[in-house]
Structure 1
């Protein structure tokens, strides 16, 4: 039977709030409070290509020693319940995908490759959209378990599955200082080293300079703050820190701090407007195969465009309104999978 799609029930009447025309006009007469763009950055590989001899980290677009990239990526399903905070090593990720789950809360698919920490977590269970999110990276996926049908979906991917419920190798443990079930921790470095023969991930996005949206044709508007609404229970925000060239994250009005005490930050915020498939009862499935609106925020600017993904194993393609590629700044990226009934507001 065909999948039924219905609106998310958590926040009725919410719409995507895009940049006002006035803000776009402002972009033409006001420069963003960001450093001058790089002028001598070498050409980086395009999305979908394998790591090259130029030695760019495939999931960050940053220069790196090739020998340090010769291992698989590690994708981990990360809890985002209030009792799961603070998280471990989110600032060392290459990519993080935030997705809606049941009850209106969110969870993450966090991906480490260029900088794999000793431990990550808290680790939680898989959801039906996760195979479509994680498949393009290859390598390893780690999670605590899940409904049998969702575990079978993930097991059917080419990824190596590491599952807490089935683990007898000591890769997972429970942290004494955290409440269950928000206490599962993965020995990330050990998980990667044991499986170092697996292939590194291919490039997922295209990268430009430190200010990749500066071209006038992109019509990127200055952005000081991004407010996202997944539901009444989850409304993260990002503030641009020009001095640090970083977006700083808040959750439900409070600064988002990881276990190290550092504010969670990112070089790029990619906001995708997505549909929700309700075929699995109360478990929402983010629809990842298809296309929709996209916003790329980097270096204190935001450009509008579209996203497209044609198969589970394909990367997400980002295209600007003028038809050119939407490129990211070299660095870590958060991909915000905001439901169509949610909202995204970009403040100049």
Structure 2
């Protein structure tokens, strides 16, 4: 495990409060403040190797003690930190992406995407570039209990919803010691987070808990695939199976996805979760309406693991419940142990 971990903290029960949006305003997209004098290094210190990838047994229940409910790999209980990352070309390559347990892909204004990365098993020394939160993040994180959420800012009308949600919020204003600016990139793509300091500033963050994922042997069937592409209005992701890595190689807009500290990103499981992407009541500073990805409900999905694609169904009855993935016959669909990417893709 890299980086310092905060002192262990007991979990806190989920406080149910996901309120409707009642106001509109402008996103503060630059989310910038005065830069710190010391820059983020172009190459961050390498993280240690992940825990041994001993396959988890097939199960229809939560991950057993000693394994992460997010990856199925051996892990100690630890607080959850979610970080909102920029993902336009100027923000790449990212830092700290390889250490994430989960990576969510969300559509934002203009049809581009941002990443919501989730850490618990490991912490990198740095992660970024960090950008602003969106309304969709509140419901998406509802089944994590009370995680810490680090982001660069939000429009004024969204702030009351974020503060009312079961989240430990970490921003430059609340925890300036957890952030730093890089001299290597222009604003707003130059804000980076020190995850250990972020968790130290979020004493109420819950430990990792069951969010509905199951890990174990692959289900029967599926279709052999060499690569699979997911398209957003202004973004494209391609996942190519690498037998040598026993993982998927990731390309964003035609270029290999790499982390400055750990190199190429290699998730073990990729989930293309088809969701309704509708306009929200919010818009950015240029007047573009912010999309809202509905993660409560049900729908179809495609699960990529072990070089095969499996048709699936997803279900999440409430924002406080986990998301389950099943085969067309209704049996739990197990993921391959390792990093998981979930792309919240528009329904066809």
Q: How does the TM-score come out when normalised to structure 2? A: 0.78
Which of these residues, 289, 295, 311, is aligned with residue 288 of structure 1?
Answer: 295
How many residue pairs get matched? 291
What is the CA distance between 1:44 and its match in structure 2? 5.3
CA contact (8 A) 1:207 1:330 kept: no
Residue 159 (1) aligns with residue 167 (2): yes
Secondary structure at the aligned position of 1:297 is classed as: strand
Measured in 1, the distance between the counterparts of 2:208 and 2:238 equals: 29
Secondary structure at the aligned position of 2:73 is classed as: coil
Residue 213 (1) aligns with residue 218 (2): yes
Measured in 2, the distance between the counterparts of 1:321 and 1:214 equals: 11
Residue 176 (1) aligns with residue 183 (2): yes
What is the CA distance between 1:272 and its match in structure 2? 0.7
Measured in 1, the distance between the counterparts of 2:331 and 2:238 equals: 28
What is the CA distance between 1:98 and its match in structure 2? 0.2
CA contact (8 A) 2:85 2:128 kept: yes
Secondary structure at the aligned position of 1:208 is classed as: coil
Q: Residue 41 and residue 307 in structure 1: after superposition, are their counterparts in 2 closer, same or farther (change >3 A)? A: closer
**Cα RMSD, aligned residues only:** 2.3
Measured in 2, the distance between the counterparts of 1:40 and 1:81 equals: 35
Q: In the TM superposition, what are the counterparts of 1:66-105 in structure 2 within 5 Å?
A: 66=76, 69=77, 71-105=78-112
Measured in 2, the distance between the counterparts of 1:306 and 1:214 equals: 14
Measured in 2, the distance between the counterparts of 1:168 and 1:251 equals: 31
What is the CA distance between 1:340 and its match in structure 2? 2.1
Q: In the TM superposition, what are the counterparts of 1:226-241 in structure 2 within 5 Å?
A: 226-231=228-233, 233-241=234-242
In the other structure, the counterpart of 1:302 is 309
What is the CA distance between 1:301 and its match in structure 2? 1.1
Unaligned runs of 5+ in 1: 4-37, 342-348
Which of these residues, 58, 70, 78, is aligned with residue 69 of structure 2?
Answer: 58
Q: Residue 324 and residue 45 in structure 1: after superposition, are their counterparts in 2 closer, same or farther (change >3 A)? A: closer
What is the CA distance between 1:196 and its match in structure 2? 5.7
Measured in 2, the distance between the counterparts of 1:110 and 1:184 equals: 15
What is the CA distance between 1:41 and its match in structure 2? 4.4
What is the CA distance between 1:43 and its match in structure 2? 5.4
What is the CA distance between 1:246 and its match in structure 2? 0.8
Q: How does the TM-score come out when normalised to structure 1? A: 0.78
Q: Residue 45 and residue 304 in structure 1: after superposition, are their counterparts in 2 closer, same or farther (change >3 A)? A: closer
Q: Residue 128 and residue 198 in structure 1: after superposition, are their counterparts in 2 closer, same or farther (change >3 A)? A: closer
Measured in 2, the distance between the counterparts of 1:199 and 1:278 equals: 31
Measured in 1, the distance between the counterparts of 2:214 and 2:192 equals: 32
Measured in 2, the distance between the counterparts of 1:320 and 1:132 equals: 25
The superposition leaves residues 193-252 of structure 1 with CA deviations (integer Å, 9 ceiling, x where unpaired) of: 45466431212243333xx3242xxx3111211101011x20110100011101010011
In the other structure, the counterpart of 1:269 is 270
Q: Residue 82 and residue 315 in structure 1: after superposition, are their counterparts in 2 closer, same or farther (change >3 A)? A: same
Which of these residues, 61, 77, 82, is aligned with residue 46 of structure 1?
Answer: 61
Residue 117 (1) aligns with residue 118 (2): no
Measured in 2, the distance between the counterparts of 1:330 and 1:184 equals: 31
What is the CA distance between 1:90 and its match in structure 2? 0.7
Which has the larger share of helix? 1
In the other structure, the counterpart of 2:37 is none
Secondary structure at the aligned position of 1:109 is classed as: strand
Unaligned runs of 5+ in 2: 1-19, 22-52, 284-288
In the other structure, the counterpart of 1:313 is 320
In the other structure, the counterpart of 1:255 is 256
CA contact (8 A) 2:150 2:170 kept: yes
What is the CA distance between 1:141 and its match in structure 2? 0.6
